[in-house]
Structure 1
């Protein structure tokens, strides 16, 4: 196939993967633990852990898990926000030969039960704040071993005691729970498991490239939530792909310890790979933000660190760029701001560049691709609206509904082939067959176009397309343009039933300027869109529903 993107690669970025051939993430992590033992690997609530400390703690926790008789390949669920315990737990589970099942801690009982049953998880490490949800469903799941963490576990005795007292008794953030003990159930505290594990020895388990590393559950936007089966080789490949792309820029900073902001949740594939795993490979410190929605607290934390990399989604970039205190921070060390998870809007990118002096470099990926599939060049400054070029070793095809490649510049489904593409959906061969082609491409469900330089532009998801009198309307286009109107903070477009045209566009807007009126938006849209694209309905909201990653949830707007 033709690969026009290769001619657009920046100097120093290879067409194919190069570098060390790790057999597993365990090899990659253990190399980092040895090489960077004295460097800080993570910081949270002003407490730091070095790579050496995470090495020791993860060995202890891994040995403790092995002592429970869990066989190689056992699924272990992790249900926590961004805390130091998460950094330890991921390494522990992988080093013990098990599979990490990342769980959104804000899941409802129904959602949690589905994921634990579907994955077959036999053990779980859960922050006590969310243990009541687990209590509601644990007897309907395969889980028999529970490790309960508290927010202050790794913060030191005095600070940890104070934090736990405040969280439990003053802020009332830990609902009362009673997990079953006995009759096949084992429950212990995180620090107790660590203490017991220090008296044990982690048994070396042969973990290879084709062993499963993560079950990364999709958001269920196209149906029931499914576990993307990511093998060790998938995630290793994506780390090396990201490194190859970032290295020319990072080399300018010299061989020194760097800091990456980890505000996106570690249970999400973006942060898992771009922050934790890439951070380990490069010896970077992950600045863990437990609650990124607390913008004042987030900014106060950033004030104490000089950050170099800032992965985020559009909504987070937007919220920070519009915060006066954030604008007063020191951004002299920031060299990469990479956006993903959702479309980065031009207004947000321009505001971020003005405030920080660092352009947002948009990329694209999915849970099924570990996640990075494309990314823009890091040397761009002007927003181009594209998701960039396929990363090293990756092929992108734009195909029609019959599976044929379309011409450059024509719309079609974005299909991805590369070493980072998942092995399939966990225990769902029929679902896997629907998205994997005979020639090895993953069908993303996203509509896009590729230009003659290899740059890919997202049009929208098939499911979100609005059909107005036979014409296709793509919400991303509406949102990108309306977001540029002064006075608009955020917006989202959906299709609603219409007797005359089949569907009509409905626009939801969060105001930045209280004086902004429906008439202002309607007149702006009249000037910006042909008639069938103009929103027929405009509704103001105080906020838009978002996932914990920051994606605006159009499906909730449809059902509201």
Structure 2
């Protein structure tokens, strides 16, 4: 039995949604289909990929550092990788890790793994050797594709977690002979981006790509219940867990996003659309929205290997004029604070999509002012492929809410006893839909604990639903601050304090207080000079007594995950609390 196989369930279930759910009227109002039509159970992502290759052939599928590959080339290269993996003796369901940033090799390898009938395991390239060893051991990865910049990490991890086959990629491998050589030389000798490593048993990517003819590819027998992706959670609440996402989960979420987008955009007008792929594809938000859905629509994915280089990112945006910009608050915030961003031509821009973490209203306001379009926020998590809810694409203003449930998705908000709360009351957001994971790899007990008695996935996020079915995230259960018996939610403090013109960004936690149990404390990155007293007075003016910050600490930067989430656990460590 394959590791984790005992958790696998049948095909994705379509929930029966009660007719009195308040968001059903919103579907009708905004022209969003209330349901999706799933394909036959014996189909899989392979049919989706093959449809793309036939339909979009000569169109660019991905662009990176000035080079591009067409859908036809993506078809060929991914079949070559699939053939190579099959030639190694791997079988259906075996795990293959991919540890690389947004470069052309990622979609080639990712599709190749799935086309071979194997399970793609996304690995964060910035993992430490300890984190990598855990993920390799937990997932049972047999093959690892890794960019040489991070090969030293695997070298240090392999004693604890060896894999059978390692394929090392260079940044310039798919950029052409001349440009690729230059990029590789610059990365190694000028920018010094590649620590010395020794992996004599490894294969280089070009050798693997050309080792076996695409004609040797054997199309596997797959269906919607087969696992396609092992997506590890961020690990910010403990040991990272692998969410098993099936072909059906991913197909369902693709169709759910399509139902939203089709309500606002003419499919025939997408011929030359570019989707900015600055968020890393190893993160589930980018993997689905930029990768899977982008390919499904025939968009050209503009791959950005290093989104922290905002000047380089803005130059790429100026050159390719993306129609769709999925991003997290950190990226939106970084862009609106760059003068060169405001000088861009936004005439091609159709939508800016926020996810991964809450977008601050102050950032959304600046974005709208500069680009002329609001940020449309959605919500999801690794366990749900990831999209759970979204705002309609035709909204005129940023709502500060995560929107309404995706098509064919039921959401309930519950109290600690799993009773549904009334409209307007706080409760834990719980989800049922065809995009909800099969379970956690190797963790049947934790899988069972993650669902309510009625089969809803418990997200751990606290929300409020209004009478129209729109949901606002209040916070995570675990981050709640208890002040004199009152629940205080850090998101609310962060949103308000970020409105101060001198605050670039801030993070809030609770610290012990003899008088009140806990006091809110904020860690602030300044945009301009400001004193602690000024910020405390601002909080006093804008927040109820028990919610206002009592302590301020100025920092140069906030600890964040690689997709821009503020790591409150790390803030608590800085305070000596964890």
Q: What's the TM-score bracket when you normalise by the shorter of the two chains? A: over 0.9
Please name the residue that 2:460 is paired with: 445
Does 2:104 correspond to 1:84?
yes
CA gap 1:255/1:89 in 2 versus in 1, 3 angstroms: same
CA gap 1:132/1:467 in 2 versus in 1, 3 angstroms: same
Please name the residue that 1:295 is paired with: 310
Number of equivalent positions = 554
Q: How does 1:246-395 map to 2 (within 5 A)?
A: 246-251=261-266, 254-395=269-410
Moved more, 480-489 or 323-332: 480-489
Moved more, 10-19 or 500-509: 10-19
Q: How does 1:9-48 map to 2 (within 5 A)?
A: 9=27, 10-18=29-37, 23-48=43-68
| 5+ residue gaps, structure 2 | 1-17
Moved more, 253-262 or 370-379: 253-262
Please name the residue that 1:93 is paired with: 113
How large is the Cα RMSD of the aligned pairs?
1.3
Instruction: For 1:198 and 1:325, locate their aligned partners in 2 and report how far apart those are by CA, in whole Å.
Output: 46
Q: Secondary structure at the match of 1:194?
A: helix
Please name the residue that 1:407 is paired with: 422
Does 2:516 correspond to 1:516?
no
Q: How does 1:404-483 map to 2 (within 5 A)?
A: 404-483=419-498
Q: How does 1:49-128 map to 2 (within 5 A)?
A: 49-128=69-148
Q: Which has the higher contact order (CA 8 A, sep 6+)?
A: 2
CA deviation after TM superposition for structure 1 residue 499, in Å? 2.0
Instruction: For 1:391 and 1:440, locate their aligned partners in 2 and report how far apart those are by CA, in whole Å.
Output: 18
TM-score (norm 2): 0.94
Does 2:562 correspond to 1:548?
yes
User: For the Cα contact (< 8 Å) 2:76–2:214, is it kept in 1?
Assistant: no
1:160 pairs with one of 176, 180, 184: 180
Deviation digits for residues 102-135 of structure 1, max 9, x if unmatched?
0000000100000000000000100000011101
User: For the Cα contact (< 8 Å) 1:120–1:142, is it kept in 2?
Assistant: no
User: For the Cα contact (< 8 Å) 2:291–2:301, is it kept in 1?
Assistant: yes
CA gap 1:252/1:75 in 2 versus in 1, 3 angstroms: closer
CA deviation after TM superposition for structure 1 residue 301, in Å? 1.1
TM-score (norm 1): 0.97
User: For the Cα contact (< 8 Å) 1:218–1:227, is it kept in 2?
Assistant: yes
Instruction: For 2:103 and 2:69, locate their aligned partners in 1 and report how far apart those are by CA, in whole Å.
Output: 11
Instruction: For 2:357 and 2:171, locate their aligned partners in 1 and report how far apart those are by CA, in whole Å.
Output: 30
User: For the Cα contact (< 8 Å) 2:356–2:380, is it kept in 1?
Assistant: yes
Instruction: For 1:20 and 1:12, locate their aligned partners in 2 and report how far apart those are by CA, in whole Å.
Output: 22
CA deviation after TM superposition for structure 1 residue 252, in Å? 7.5
Moved more, 214-223 or 115-124: 214-223
Please name the residue that 1:525 is paired with: 539
Deviation digits for residues 419-471 of structure 1, max 9, x if unmatched?
00001101101111111123221000000111110001101000000001111
User: For the Cα contact (< 8 Å) 2:236–2:567, is it kept in 1?
Assistant: no
Q: Secondary structure at the match of 2:141?
A: coil
User: For the Cα contact (< 8 Å) 2:129–2:153, is it kept in 1?
Assistant: yes
Consecutive aligned runs of 4 or more in structure 1 exceeding 4 Å deviation? 19-22
Does 2:23 correspond to 1:8?
no
1:138 pairs with one of 158, 182, 185: 158
Instruction: For 1:160 and 1:180, locate their aligned partners in 2 and report how far apart those are by CA, in whole Å.
Output: 23
CA deviation after TM superposition for structure 1 residue 27, in Å? 1.2
CA gap 1:277/1:347 in 2 versus in 1, 3 angstroms: same
Instruction: For 2:200 and 2:462, locate their aligned partners in 1 and report how far apart those are by CA, in whole Å.
Output: 48
| 5+ residue gaps, structure 1 | 182-186
User: For the Cα contact (< 8 Å) 1:260–1:286, is it kept in 2?
Assistant: yes
Deviation digits for residues 339-358 of structure 1, max 9, x if unmatched?
01111110010100011111
Instruction: For 1:97 and 1:521, locate their aligned partners in 2 and report how far apart those are by CA, in whole Å.
Output: 56
CA gap 1:386/1:58 in 2 versus in 1, 3 angstroms: same
User: For the Cα contact (< 8 Å) 2:231–2:243, is it kept in 1?
Assistant: yes
Q: Secondary structure at the match of 1:234?
A: helix
CA deviation after TM superposition for structure 1 residue 516, in Å? 1.7
Instruction: For 2:565 and 2:517, locate their aligned partners in 1 and report how far apart those are by CA, in whole Å.
Output: 27
Instruction: For 1:67 and 1:537, locate their aligned partners in 2 and report how far apart those are by CA, in whole Å.
Output: 61
Deviation digits for residues 89-108 of structure 1, max 9, x if unmatched?
11100000100000000000
Please name the residue that 1:238 is paired with: 253
User: For the Cα contact (< 8 Å) 1:249–1:335, is it kept in 2?
Assistant: no
Instruction: For 1:75 and 1:195, locate their aligned partners in 2 and report how far apart those are by CA, in whole Å.
Output: 21
Q: How does 1:489-500 map to 2 (within 5 A)?
A: 489-500=504-515
User: For the Cα contact (< 8 Å) 1:375–1:388, is it kept in 2?
Assistant: yes
User: For the Cα contact (< 8 Å) 1:375–1:389, is it kept in 2?
Assistant: yes
